[in-house]
Amino acid sequence: MIADRIAQIRRSIPSEVKLVAVSKYTTPTAIRAAYAAGVRDFGESRVQDAKAKQEELADLGDITWHMIGSLQSNKAKAAIAQFDWIHSLDRLSLAVQCDRLIAELGKSPQLLLQVKLAEDPSKSGWSEPELLTDLPELAKLQNLNIVGLMTILPLGLNEVQAYELFCKVGKLAEKMRSLGWTNIQELSMGMSADYAIAVKAGASLIRVGNQIFAS
Ligand SMILES: *Cc1c(COP(=O)(O)O)cnc(C)c1O
């Protein structure tokens, strides 16, 4: 069942788009099923829950773990230690802290800046003007390996609105590259409900939970 769902998603996206299976609501057993079906990228939203699963799955040595949930300052150190990617770098103060912790821990996950290009009080992330304002400060944080942007859309958009917002994230990445941020190559966007639209708009990573794991 899990394998069929994964195969179906894979068939619908280009092979170069990375499928991150969001395992935050599921068990190690289900993660093993997805692994057996070929998935190697898993997304978790809480550092503590992830740790328990990572320990149980330690025999699966080649999993790439993605932190996708909002990150409290007091969890930043554990997140850097435990994750290969952090998609939810969403504020300057956290970036400053991560820069210091990465030097201290000697471990440097791939980082995505979380952006919010439409009003959405329930989500964190930089607006475009805020990000452009903070870029000079971010550029000083030499230990950060920032490789792209991540977004979560507000609820209730139609397909056209969703597509336009995803495209806006791609345009912002382009703008950053033109400002010298040439490493900004990854776009993490699209979940179960909207990944097909995100892929059309240029997503390089999609984060799919329910469509793989929901019973
Ligand atoms: C939970 C979550 C997802 C997966 O959502 P589904 O609708 O289950 O596919 C993707 N991204 C983030 C940031 C999430 O928190």
Could you report the per-residue pLDDT of 54-63, keeping only the tens digit for each? 999 999 999 9
Percent of the chain, pLDDT > 70? 100
Q: Which of 123-127, 133-137, 207-211 shows the lowest mean pLDDT across its residues? A: 123-127
CB contact at 8 A, 35 and 60 = yes
Residue 78 is predicted with a pLDDT of 98
Q: Whose CA is nearest to atom 6 of ligand 1?
A: 209
Q: Average model confidence (pLDDT) for the chain?
A: 97
Provide the 8-state DSSP code for 147: E
Residue 122 is predicted with a pLDDT of 86
Q: Whose CA is nearest to atom 4 of ligand 1?
A: 209
- DSSP assignment of 45-64 equals S-HHHHHHHHHHTTT-TTPE
Return the CATH number of the domain spanning residue range 2-213.
Answer: 3.20.20.10
If one residue of 42, 68, 213 were mutated to test the ligand 1 pocket, choosing by the most ligand atoms within 8 A of its CB, it would be 68
Residue 29 is predicted with a pLDDT of 97
**97 Cα–ligand 1 center, Å:** 25
The residues, any chain, with a CB within 8 Å of residue 60's CB and separated by 6 or more, are 32, 35
Tokens linked to 125: 């992330």
Tokens linked to 18: 């990375």
Going by pLDDT thresholds of 50, 70 and 90, the confidence category of residue 112 is very high
> Is there an atom of ligand 1 within 6 Å of 207 CB?
yes
**Mean pLDDT across the stretch 59-73?**
97
Q: Whose CA is nearest to atom 13 of ligand 1?
A: 68
pLDDT in tens, 8-36: 999 999 999 999 999 999 999 999 999 99
Closest CA to 22 of 190, 200, 204: 190
pLDDT in tens, 86-98: 999 999 999 999 9
**Mean pLDDT across the stretch 166-171?**
98
Cα separation, 99 vs 109, in Å, equals 11
- pLDDT score of 99 more than 90: yes
> Is there an atom of ligand 1 within 6 Å of 189 CB?
no
Cα separation, 52 vs 184, in Å, equals 32
pLDDT in tens, 115-129: 999 988 888 999 999
Provide the 8-state DSSP code for 69: S
What is the position in ligand 1's atom list of the atom closest to the CA of 193?
A: 7
> Is there an atom of ligand 1 within 6 Å of 192 CB?
yes
> Is there an atom of ligand 1 within 6 Å of 46 CB?
no
Residue type, 167: C
Residue 215 is predicted with a pLDDT of 80
> Is there an atom of ligand 1 within 6 Å of 45 CB?
yes
Closest CA to 96 of 148, 138, 131: 138
Residue 120 is predicted with a pLDDT of 85
